[in-house]
Chains A and B, each alone.
Chain A
């Protein structure tokens, strides 16, 4: 059973636009909800994370919105830049065991 479902699979955005990636989860016991960014040939790197008692968290151009009742959370990238082109993964840890979404490949066009 897939614990975390991520969409879309791929996304093309113009420079300066807003990129939105969504995730849905099943297990209400998940501890917190991080997003990871992965460039080709590199391992995933933590981008931003949110706890379930908070509805929104913003760090620079990156914002997580969290909807506990719907069991969904999303990543918003404001003013998207070509350097943001990467694959993004949502994740949810349960007692330090991380479940990852299937990934969204973002391409920001100059």
Chain B
């Protein structure tokens, strides 16, 4: 049973460029969340997708956008890259099916995409 897979594993971009990161959720999961983890910090919530719609959003600018496809996979897009966007981007999946609490379906994280902006 494949867990959460993310691609690419590493990426180097230049300031001002745009980047797309991809995520395939764990089999049976329908909800995908994206987190940014700066070096030496805890993950910060970017947004969450369920039923192909953005359901919740953290404190990130509109340069960060996403998409969820009918097969539950997801993309994170970042436009006009800044040096400060350099981080590990984590995708996490869970089985939500409209539930308020995730206690019975905790987050499963991928190993992330390391983005370096030069």
Contacts and interface: CB of A to CB of B under 8 A. Distances in A.
Contacts of A51: 103
B48 A97 contact: yes
A46 interface: yes
A44 B33 CA distance: 13
B110 interface: yes
Nearest to A93: B102
Contacts of B43: 44, 89, 98, 100
A96 B41 CA distance: 20
B111 A42 contact: yes
A32 B103 contact: yes
A43 B102 contact: no
B73 interface: no
Classify the secondary structure of B's interface with A.
Answer: loop
B42 A101 contact: yes
B106 A34 contact: yes
B90 interface: yes
B42 A97 contact: no
Interface residues of B, number: 29
A85 to B, nearest CB: 16
A86 B31 CA distance: 27
Contacts of B111: 41-43
Contact of B44 (A45, A100, A103): A100
Interface stretch (B14-22, B64-72, B77-85, B93-101): B93-101
Contact of B103 (A31, A36, A41, A45): A31
21 contacts: A31-B102, A42-B111, A43-B90, A43-B92, A44-B43, A49-B103, A51-B103, A89-B43, A95-B56, A96-B33, A96-B102, A98-B35, A98-B43, A98-B45, A98-B107, A99-B45, A100-B35, A100-B42, A100-B43, A101-B42, A103-B40
Report the 7 A-B pairs with minimum CB-CB distance, sorted nearest first: A43-B109, A100-B42, A46-B106, A32-B103, A43-B111, A100-B43, A31-B101
